[in-house]
Amino acid sequence: MSMRTGRIFQFGRFQIDALARTLRREETIVKLNSRAFDVLLYLVQNPGKVLTRDELLKNVWQDAFVDESSLPQTVSLLRRALEEKPGDNSYIVTLPGRGYQFASAVQIVAPEVASGDGNTLSDLATTGRSDSSGIIFQKHAVETSVITSNEEKKQISSPISGSRTLIRAVAALLAAVIVVGLVVRFRSQQRPEQKHALVQRQLTANPAENTISSGAISRDGKYLAYSDSLSKNLYLLAIDSGEIREAPLPASYSPVDWFPDGNHLLLKAGVEEGDLWKISTWDFSLRKVWGGNAYQATVSPDGLHIAFVKDLRELWMMGADGEEPHKILAGDAPEILFGVAWSPTGQRLAYIRTWGTFSKRDAAIETCDLAGGARTVVLSDPQLWGLDGISNLAWLPDGRLIYSIFSGAMESNLWARIADPSSGKPGRDATRLAGWKDFRAWNPQASADGKRLIADRNHAENRIYIGDLALGNEGFAPHRFTPDDWYNDVSDWTKDSRGILFQSKRNGRWAIFKQDIDGKTPETLIAGSENYFLPRLSAQGTLLYTVTASQDRNDPGDTTIRLMSTPEQGGARFTLMMGRYSYACGSLPSSSCVVAELKDSQLRFFHLDPSQGRGEEIGTIAGYKFADPRWNLSPDGARIAIVEPLDGKGEIRILNVADRKTTVLPVRDWKWQSLLWISWAADGSSWFAVANSGSSIALLSVDANGNPRVLQEMPTGAGWIASIVPSPDGKRLAFTKRMYVADVMLLENF
């Protein structure tokens, strides 16, 4: 029999050849499958040691998904192979609640030993370990303790012989070092070090109707956990093999981070904000660790703590199981905190702080110690804050902070800047890592070694839908009106309720279109060398719209924005006002128009003449925080309905144009977090509204007493509803549905 030292393990009547991967019972080979052999080999390499289930699974099944019964079934197979009878624990002992133990003495057989007489494993100080691929290696501390002849023994024991041997070895080693050094130096002079090209790989490919809602990469970089927008499933993807494990959960959860043990995930209930949960990746048991409105959350490098943003205002920290939650930092109103990340040393936290309004916004990446002190500013840039929000952060072992900078309303790129992990002080200038044209590079997260980085690659597709209101709430079944995938956004109806006005980005610019509800193609109303938005019709047939020379109508520094007017059927154009304004007109023949300006959290309303511009002030709503004012004018032009998406109260404020008095109408049975949009119904006494619950978006019909009824509801990850516009005759409702197409991308060599 051919044997090699340290590769043959003998116990009882059995021998394992680790190199040949065979198990023998005396002279008979016992057949075992590959996984069973690996389990037995690992047990034999660790005799007498209590091996937990997690340790065995981690070292033997590390690259495969297994269910709860896989290990017990394999142990049962081994018992049969080792001829153990029921109740007989000669080899493998099961310790309930603890794991397994190999009970037999184990010997390592030397090459010349034929009978199996050898030194015990403890005498040879042999230990076992596993690499990241789950392949078992043996490390032999004393390989020269097995002597095969007296002559060899004498040579080894001779001090002179030993010294000469040592001198020769040292001389050879020094010569080798010199040669290698010269070769390396020569080659480095001839050929400069080449940088590896960035490697990008798409990991998911969900359709727009069921896009990815959240993803997290494991600390070893081998697995991606993600959720989608329609199901309640958690998916675990083995990145290198493509194998997917699917686990149905009792509700919708979003994976936000992995614990370092690789056996647990941190989840967030819903998509936007919600409770925090801890889940086992073995049996998918769930346990709540925090109850409240957590937005971003991340696990510390050592797995002992969780940091998270609460209510978009405060930075909190707690133990890994939710113990001792406490606030460490709070933003001053109306500041918002976002995107928390741990430093690679676990000594500091990074986060994004924003202040001001979106039209005049500021944002900065800051760091603090674990008590909220020693704050530093790594980067100040208002483009950290985009139209669709703010991205998360990642802090790599080499000190690079990864973040997302918007280069336009619909595009952002990943950037990196050094921040000292101990002090938080910024280093050299920022560098661009990656990005995709007309897409947002979003929410970076890295493996523990910083060699793999994932990011969301997403963009929004705005589609217009029209629903029939004649059948009531139960029969409301909207259909898609614009079949193309251009960025379409509805703004108004024609006065006869037979067509809609909308804006669309085509051929690289925004233009204004009209299309009959029975038509197949749109008619261009306003187009040219600039960008044109927000068409509204006055009672007298004047078309109001915004025009700007900037490609990004949300650029706070844009000085080219004008409010224009022109006859609906064409004619001379007039500039009514310069600056950023919102405006609306009533639909009845006797109605008027109103314009609003948001400045220093004061939302001021004015009369608007479609040919003369801004007139007398109507009233002011103080303390308005949302950057994009959400309000609408009643059909007769007599009342203004206002909602504030950031107040969370579910209130509709009514400003009377004639007497300038404001009343508040609470939405009853309030169970959502915010009202996003408001529009008067054609009867002038009820409304349509959009509510956000964090996990879903609901299109509501609200009566004069504030009673809501849900017309349609969809998961937040599936998209958003915006720009709700009822037809003047009250028969139809048009709205814009924003669909997010998102995939998870893997980056290497970045």
Helix (H) or strand (E) holding 506: strand 499-506
CA distance linking residue 133 with residue 152, whole number of Å: 39
Q: Are 745 and 201 in contact (CB under 8 A)?
A: yes
Q: Which residues contact 96 (CB under 8 A, 6 or more apart)?
A: none
Q: Is the predicted pLDDT of residue 676 greater than 80, yes or no? A: yes
Q: Where are the beta strands (DSSP E) in 203-359?
A: 212-217, 223-228, 233-238, 244-248, 253-258, 264-269, 274-280, 286-299, 305-310, 314-319, 326-330, 336-342, 348-357
The fold adopted by the segment(s) 460-469+483-740 is: Neuraminidase (2.120.10)
More confident residue, 18 or 416: 416
> Strand 394-395 vs strand 244-248: parallel, antiparallel, or unpaired?
unpaired
How much is the pLDDT for 144?
24
How much is the pLDDT for 335?
84
Q: The tokens of 111 are what?
A: 């090459």
Residue owning tokens 């909308």: 502
Q: Is the predicted pLDDT of residue 660 greater than 50, yes or no? A: yes
Lowest-pLDDT choice from 102-116, 633-647, 650-664: 102-116
Q: Is the predicted pLDDT of residue 126 greater than 50, yes or no? A: no
How much is the pLDDT for 223?
96
Name 445's bridge partners.
Answer: 454
How much is the pLDDT for 483?
85
More confident residue, 218 or 472: 218
pLDDT tens profile 129-176: 333 322 222 332 222 222 233 333 333 333 333 444 444 544 454 555
Put simply, whether the predicted model's pTM sits higher than 0.75 gets the answer: no
Q: What's the rounded mean pLDDT across residues 368-372?
A: 96
Q: The tokens of 374 are what?
A: 């020693």
Q: Is the predicted pLDDT of residue 190 greater than 90, yes or no? A: no
The fold adopted by the segment(s) 8-146 is: Arc Repressor Mutant, subunit A (1.10.10)
Looking at the chain, the whole-number percentage of residues with pLDDT higher than 90 is 55
How much is the pLDDT for 211?
84
- Report the alpha-carbon angle 25-27-33, nearest 5: 50
CA 626 → CA 156, 360, 361, 382, distances in Å?
A: 83, 12, 12, 16
How much is the pLDDT for 554?
66
Instruction: Specify the 3-state DSSP secondary structure of 154.
Output: helix
Q: Is the predicted pLDDT of residue 705 greater than 90, yes or no? A: yes
pLDDT tens profile 719-742: 789 899 999 999 999 999 988 788
Q: What is the largest CA-CA distance in the chain?
A: 117
Q: Is the predicted pLDDT of residue 237 greater than 60, yes or no? A: yes
pLDDT tens profile 28-74: 899 888 888 999 999 999 998 889 888 888 888 765 555 556 788 78
pLDDT tens profile 515-555: 999 998 999 999 999 999 999 999 888 999 999 988 766 66
Q: Is the predicted pLDDT of residue 113 greater than 50, yes or no? A: no
Count of positions (residues) in the chain: 750
How much is the pLDDT for 68?
57
CATH number assigned to the domain covering 199-459: 2.120.10.30
CA 351 → CA 83, 357, 403, distances in Å?
A: 60, 19, 10
pLDDT tens profile 249-266: 998 899 999 999 999 999
